[in-house]
Amino acid sequence: MNIQDTLAVVTGGASGLGRAVVEHIIARGGRAAILDLQEEAGRAVARELGATFHTCDVGVEAQVQSAIAAAHEAMQGLNLLVNCAGIVGAGKLLGKTGPMSGEFFEKVVRVNLIGTLLCDKTAAALMRENAPNPDGERGVLIHTASVAAFEGQIGQVAYSATKAGIVGMTLPIARELAAFGIRCVSIAPGIFMTPMLAGLPKDVQASLGAQVPFPARLGRPEEFARLVQSIVEIPTLNGEVIRLDGAIRMQPR
């Protein structure tokens, strides 16, 4: 599949990694639909880039189904899903105010892990109806995991659990959907320049970047988007988790 032929749904596409993916796809001739809770920002980005926007809480199944159906109709098709929506969910198991609440943990799981699954199954059901290309391919599902799936830090118990879950379901999904010519791949980014990190002082950004062996800097969202393109265009990339982290291995803190 070529990037210029993509009809993509990008969750969390109003900012950060998701926005970079939308911009990259459209700049190369593809089409994209943004799914995000940030309605004002999402509509502004959609207008700027030439995408469509659909308000969606990925943790709510009815909203996912409605938004992806609307995106499919607007683009007259769907062959790529990029799951970028998520929340940080920082918190200790035994914090200063007491043990972590079950509700907090459940919220992080609902958005990051269940949200990815809901989008996957809804998009895959539509992709299954696509006419196959010469390779027999009908679509691609891309997950955003994290290096926290492997080296979760103190305070990341909920976040790491969700990212490890995303990693764990990548291969089973790829194996199951192979029968329909639909691939599934996860990207596990390291420390990237997202809106949250952009708000930190420059010296803090530099300190974080210096922890990366090479290149000794924060990852750039466009690098994530370029990896999305490679996954789209290389059919044998399937059932895999790709670390995009400059060889960093996170310390406990």
Domain ranges of the chain: 3-241
Across residues 160-174, what is the average pLDDT?
98
In the predicted structure, residue 196 carries a pLDDT above the cut 80: no
In this prediction, residue 239 carries a pLDDT of 98
Tokens of 174: 């790829």
Extended strands (E) in 67-181: 80-83, 94-95, 98-99, 139-144
Whether 29 has a pLDDT exceeding 80, the answer reads yes
> Residue 26: pLDDT band by 50, 70, 90 thresholds?
very high
Please give the helix or strand (H or E) that residue 68 lies within, else none: helix 61-75
Q: What is the pLDDT of residue 204?
A: 75
For residues 42 and 25, give the distance between their C-alpha atoms in angstroms, rounded to a whole number.
Answer: 16
Q: What is the pLDDT of residue 85?
A: 96
Q: What is the pTM of this model?
A: 0.95
3-241 has which CATH code? 3.40.50.720
Task: Render pLDDT for 205-229 as a digit per residue (tens, 0 to 9).
Answer: 888 888 999 999 999 999 999 999 9
Mean pLDDT of 158-169: 97
Residues with a known catalytic role: 159
| Residues 3/23, Cβ–Cβ less than 8 Å | no
pLDDT at 198 exceeding the cut of 80: no
Contact at 8 Å (CB) between 42 and 55?
yes
User: Model confidence over 30-64: pLDDT tens digits?
Assistant: 999 999 999 999 999 999 999 999 999 999 999 99
- The arithmetic mean of pLDDT across residues 26-32, rounded, is 98
Amino acid identity at 241? V
- In this predicted structure, the answer to whether residue 140 has a pLDDT above a threshold of 80 is yes
Residue among 47, 45, 43, 44 nearest 55 (CA): 43
Contacts (Cβ under 8 Å, ≥6 apart) of 170: 143, 145, 184, 185, 186, 239, 240, 241
Q: Which two tokens stand for residue 223?
A: 């690098």
pLDDT of the residue at 145: 97
Torsion of CA 5, 11, 12, 17, to 10 degrees: -40
Q: Which residue has the higher pLDDT, 10 or 198?
A: 10
Instruction: Work out the mean pLDDT of the chain and round it to a whole number.
Output: 95
